Amino acid sequence: MAPRLENKTAIITGGASGFGKATAIRFAEEGAAVLIGDLNADGATAVANSILSAGGKAVALRMDVTSAEDWEKAVGIVMERWGRLDVVVNNAGTTYRNKPTLDVTSEEFTRVFEVNVRSVYLSVRAAVPTMQKNGGGSIINVSSIGSVRPRPGLVWYNASKAAVTNATKGLAAEYGPQNIRINSLAPLLSGTGLFESFVGVPDTPENREKFIGNVPLGRLTDPNDVANTALFLASDEGKFITGVNLEIDGGRGV
């Protein structure tokens, strides 16, 4: 059986750790050439080197997803090296610590929307023209279960992810006729270091157990849960799926 992403290329943002790292590795395992973009240049390089050591194709780029110039640079590198752009995974994101809405600063509000929403806008401007020339492509936006099940304490983070989910559907309708599929993923938080920011309490075994008690499948999201779902959507197995927000939350949003 041929690799599921054989001869395909991808840009994956936030690829130095967590969901992005797992997705980059999984895509490379299935034959994709991947550009790993992240503000953490050393982390992105380490992921790229691990892929290269395993016989895959990868390149790292220090990338600020709020910069139009960095997006143009990322697309340019992919085109120069591999001649086409098939997939973009908009994984890079940020949040502020869970707290009352009136305590959220203007700077925190602006940063959340710049990183979580403007980055998707910039990715579309940079990637879609190339995908149009290729005859199609796939854009996968990492949203959050909070986009459809918002709760107190992360109001503006959840609103930013709701914007991502909504934009995904509109973009899917607009670019579907050009064979560009656009979907979003809505994971629960994972154990990759942001528990305290998202939940608003210290990351202790007791607090984790309390949170997980509200998840029907009894755990947090594993990065490979996101990676495998993104792989499905990026591959030909998902070629008739667009405008979908896939919830990867163990039933938390039910």
Residues designated catalytic:
157
Q: How many CB atoms lie within 10 A of CB 254?
A: 9
What are 248's strand-pairing partners?
A: 187
Contacts 24+ apart (CB under 8 A), 167-171: 167/117, 167/120, 167/121, 167/141, 168/141, 168/143, 168/243, 168/245, 169/243, 169/245, 171/124, 171/139
> Residue 19 half-sphere exposure, CB side, CA atoms within 13 Å?
30
Q: What is the DSSP letter of 27?
A: H
Neighbours of 234 (CB within 10 A): 29
- Strands (DSSP E) found in the chain: 9-13, 33-38, 57-62, 87-90, 137-142, 180-187, 245-248
**Rounded (10°) CA dihedral 124, 59, 73, 185:** 20
